[in-house]
Structures are given as structure tokens and as C-alpha cells.
Amino acid sequence: MPSKRIKNAIRLEFVPGALVQANLSGTAFSGECLWVAGDEACGIDRLRRLEPSGSELLRFGDGLSFPLPELLDLPGAADDEADLEGMAVADGYLWVVGSHGLKRKNAKSKLDNAENAKRLAKVTLDGNRRLLACLPIETGDDGQPCLVRETKDGRRARRLKGDAESNLLTQALADDPHFGPYMGIPGKDNGLDIEGLVVDGKRLLLGLRGPVLRGWSALLEIGLDTKGDELRLAPLEGSDYLIRKHFLQLEGLGIRDLHYSGDDLYILAGPTMVLDGDIRVFKWPNAKSLLAANREPVRFEATLIEMLSLPHGHGTNRAEALCALPPELAAQTPSWLVLYDAPGLDRKDGEYTVFGDILHQ
């Protein structure tokens, strides 16, 4: 139950040319190694634990990049960003999900009004953003976890069936009365924008930064099966539904990340639009048991507990990633790691080093 924050307690050292460096959007642990994703890359970096070099409690570095085109046959071009937002380690796999959303070009101060008007009207889709995949983890020759296309024991990388325009999830949402109307709206304009991911067996929860509907944020619950090198949506237990919808009262905030701790679900929440505002951590008590027992296609949950608020800067330090520290790294005290998109100068040490926070009781 996080109630306190230790600022800049985690030091992350990236190497020049790393796929991920500053705009951190997803994270997960394999033992003492940390996986990190950025929303402007098409790959994942692995950092290993190092001895602290300053006042930080934990230090990670000696990075190794894993380009997604080497692990998967991607729906888009190899140089299209995947906008990875959610990560989770489960049953020997690293699960990743892209935002799935459209993007709108931004205005630039050096351009005139007419040129900026054209930019602001242009909406595009990078094909790799519509990615939901599981990547097998295998111990490499150096004794460290590595991501591979296929392991020696036959586990294979797989992604949800689809192409650069759509996949089985977006197809299932296209006619949905709640989310279908938002499929054509860019993610940062309160359109569809997936940012959180947790895995419980064959059940996945996807947290939506947007849309937020009359103050209600949403979790999408899906089930998956495998067929060859593809993942397929499967009916959820006790029903014919491919998707269950859970609307959460997060006081108007969208979901930035998700994390299970025992039976409880922790939710990192922040503004759905591009603005500086409240960033908070909520707890949904007994969520795992409640979700496993639920058979309703749509349900509302208004009894979440706000645990703490996190600071933010002006255009900087937006908390985007939340995961548990392994007990051996946290002195057996339940603790969580928070990483930030657009880190400010107070969270940087030179060009390639950034800092995250630790949350604890």
C-alpha cells in the first residue's frame, strides 16, 4: 500500500544510441534486470542492476537494446514507432501493448498560421501502434534474461492478429457503443489510447487513458488463445463475450499504468489530454478475485481508494510507468517503481541518465 515517495531513488543509465532513453512509458522486472519501453521507439531496453554510484538506492545500467523487428513480424514498417505503453512479465513472457491510437501533428512556432492549420488537421496512424504481443524471455550466455523470437524449449513470440490498419481488438471495438465513436479520434484528443497492461493467466486487462466518459475511466478485459504465431481473442470465462468493460471512478483521470499486488489492483492515473495536472495512484481492493468471479459484460466500480498524489512539472515529469520492485531489491518491504515521461532537469544527470521514484508504505 504505497503512501510515501522517495524522489530520485532509482538511477537509470542508458548508453548512447539506445532505443529507449528519456520518454519512459512502460517497465517491468525480470529478477534484478529492468525492462523499459519508450513511446517514441520500436524496441525495448534491458538494464541490469549495478552498485549505487551516488545517493540513489538502486542503480541500473549496462543497457542492451532489443529491436522489435528482430522479434516479431510487425504490422507496420520497421522504423514506425510502436508507442509502447504497457508492459508486464508473466509465465516466462514479456507482454507489451502499444497505444493503438491515432496521432495528430502539432503546431510549430517557426511555421505560419496556414502551415500550422494544415498540421493540426492531419491525423495519421503508425501501423506498429496497434500491437499487442508476448515476447519469450530466455537466459542468455551471460546469465541475463534476453528477449528472443523462439526459445530452446519452443516458446515463441506472438502478436494479436492484425495488420497496419487494424487488429482483432480494434475490429471488436469498432461497433462498440462506448468506444466505437472514439476510434477515429487521436489518442491525446480523448480518443482511444491504451496505456496500462496487467496479465492474469489468459486474462488481460488493458487500461485506457482515453476515452474518459463523463468522468468514468475504463478497463478492457480480454481473453487470448494462440494459433501458430498469432494471438486470437477468445471468449471470456462463462460467456460469449470477447471483451468485458469495467468503468472506474478515477475523478476524471485516465489510466496511465496498472499493477497487481496480491489481490489488489493499483492504478496510476493522470490527465487524458495533453496538459499538466493531477497524477495519482488508486487501489482497487480485491480486484483480481472480483474480476475472476464476474460474469457481467459491463460493470461500474466507484469504491477505489486514492493512495497518494505524485508531483508533475510544467511540460515535464509526467508519471507514466508503475511496477513492483522484486522483494530482493526492496529489503522485503512492498515497494513500487515509478518512471516518468519527459523528465525535467531535476530528474536527469547528463544526456543519458534519468531518475525514477520509489513508492512504499
Q: Cα(183)–Cα(180) distance, rounded to whole angstroms? A: 5
pTM of the model: 0.96
Q: What is the pLDDT of residue 1?
A: 65
Cell numbers at 114, concatenated = 496556414
Residue 141: φ, ψ to 5°: -60, -25
pLDDT of residue 120: 95
What ranges do the domains of the chain cover?
A: 69-321
Q: Which three cell numbers stand for residue 230?
A: 498469432
SS3 328: helix
Starting at the edge strand found earlier in the chain, the sheet holding 254-261 runs 254-261, 264-270, 279-284, 305-310
Q: What is the pLDDT of residue 223?
A: 96
Which residues in the chain come in under a pLDDT of 50? none
Residue 259 φ then ψ, to 5°: -160, 125
| CA distance to 32, 302, 341, 347, per residue, from 17 (Å) | 23, 45, 18, 20
245 Cβ neighbours under 8 A, 6+ residues apart: 178, 218, 219, 220, 221, 297, 298, 299
